[in-house]
Amino acid sequence: MPPTKIDYKRELESASKGMILIHDPRLLIKLIVRSIVQKVHIQHAGMILYDPYKDSYVLSISRGRIGERIPEGLIRFNKTNPLVKLFIQKEYKYIFENRNAIVAEDINKLLWKESVISNGNGIKQLLHSVSEQLPKLNAVACVPAYHQHMLMAILLLGEKHDGSRFDQEELDFFSALASDVAMAIRNAQLFEDLKREAERNRNLFIQTTIALGSAIEAKDTYTHGHTERVTKYALAIGRQMEASQAYDFPNKFFENLYIAGLLHDIGKIAVPEAILSKQDKLTPEEYEIMKSHTTRGAEILAPLTGFEEVINGVKYHHERYDGKGYPEGLKGGDIPMIAAIIAVADTFDAMTTDRPYRKGLSKEKAVLEIQACVDKQFNHKPVDALVMLFNKGEL
């Protein structure tokens, strides 16, 4: 019984829809190659993909009958490989005519064409090399996939089960499919480049954050190590809240908490050193200036996009649960949880650290005093986590 006639237009529309719905191009190409093997009834098919980081082409996806298909990752071609060279060098494009593909049995016909024989750019030798290479790949046809004249992939096609040759309709379908695949691959590469750049910028920002934290401590000699300890306590409190299922944190919360912990006092850069280092009680005017470090910190970080949660931690870590804090007098659940956690960590470190004018409290006494301020100064969830950490000996 002859195979069912394939509606190539519908298959192409289906593949195009898949390219919109499936964002992983590797998965998409695997599905396409598998579909080609099954629907066109060929022994195997494979996709040689361009690796921009090694500037070479790798047989990355292979599907079909075991023994016929070439194992994935086994073959890597550089740009001097005859098959790759045939598709990337402009002077060889004319031999494709309107077929957009190379078919093994047509190569001998091409070798006898007058335009090939008389051509002085080595095309005859190149075609001989390609004709020798295709059997090693168990391929009877190959289709290039371009994006803006850049070769992104080569689709390898094995023999059909019935031994018939590929007709022009099939080759046109493979060519259109390859074009869409090339677009999907290029979009994925651009997305990966953007992700890498964003990660590089994020790492650079975190390194800058650490340097700024050191700059803060250099101004305020009496709180040496404070930002590092507050960050450590804040992360421990947050992790304990997560472990006890007290709060459902969003993605990247702990990275933001880490950055906010290191930067919670960044606004002190704008506070005069005379106020920061004053050992006596601050005057009302000096206290107002000191309080401004929360808003000044938020202003310093305001130009950064995507760091709203960090800015909330910096700006609101001196708010109180009863609404008597600063800078905005937020109350209860209106205080962002990142700020509520830093508030507890900040207070715990301040209470347990020796100052020139007083000795620090024991951790036990500090925990008890913080507990006494639940629902007045502090949200009970981070305080509960602090108590759990103390009871486990993890503070």
**What pLDDT score was predicted for residue 126?**
83
Number of C-beta neighbours around residue 95 at 10 A: 19
Does residue 40 contact residue 160 with C-beta atoms inside 8 Å? yes
Does residue 182 contact residue 147 with C-beta atoms inside 8 Å? yes
**What pLDDT score was predicted for residue 1?**
45
8-190 and 201-391 in the same fold: no
pTM over 0.85: no
> How far from 129 is each of 58, 95, 139, 324, CA to CA, in Å?
19, 15, 14, 82
Q: Could you tell me the two tokens for 156?
A: 């390898």
Whole-number Å distance between alpha carbons of 182 and 175 = 10
Does residue 127 contact residue 103 with C-beta atoms inside 8 Å? no
**What pLDDT score was predicted for residue 75?**
82
- Which residues, given as ranges, of the chain have pLDDT below 50? 1-2
Does residue 237 contact residue 382 with C-beta atoms inside 8 Å? yes
Q: Scanning the structure block, which residue is given the tokens 């009496």?
A: 222
Residue boundaries of the structural domains of the chain: 8-190, 201-391
Q: Could you tell me the two tokens for 244?
A: 């006890």
Element (H, E) at 45: strand 44-51
Give the right CATH number for 8-190 from 1.10.287.40, 3.30.450.40, 3.40.50.2000, 3.10.129.10: 3.30.450.40
Q: Specify the 3-state DSSP secondary structure of 129.
A: helix
Residue pLDDT, tens place only, 52-98: 888 899 888 888 777 667 777 778 888 889 888 888 877 666 666 55
141-147 and 44-51 strand pairing: unpaired
Q: Specify the 3-state DSSP secondary structure of 332.
A: helix
Report the interhelical angle of 104-111 vs 123-136 (nearest 10°). Answer: 160
Number of C-beta neighbours around residue 247 at 10 A: 16
CA atoms within 13 A on the CB side of 369: 14
CA atoms within 13 A on the CB side of 284: 0
Number of C-beta neighbours around residue 83 at 10 A: 22
**What pLDDT score was predicted for residue 24?**
67
The strand ranges marked E within the chain are 44-51, 56-64, 76-77, 102-103, 141-147, 150-157
**What pLDDT score was predicted for residue 138?**
85
**Strand partners for 48:** 59, 154
Does residue 352 contact residue 345 with C-beta atoms inside 8 Å? no
350 alpha-carbon distance from chain centroid: 38
CA-based nearest residue to 106, from 171, 178, 37, 177: 171
CATH code at 201-391: 1.10.3210.10
**Strand partners for 59:** 48
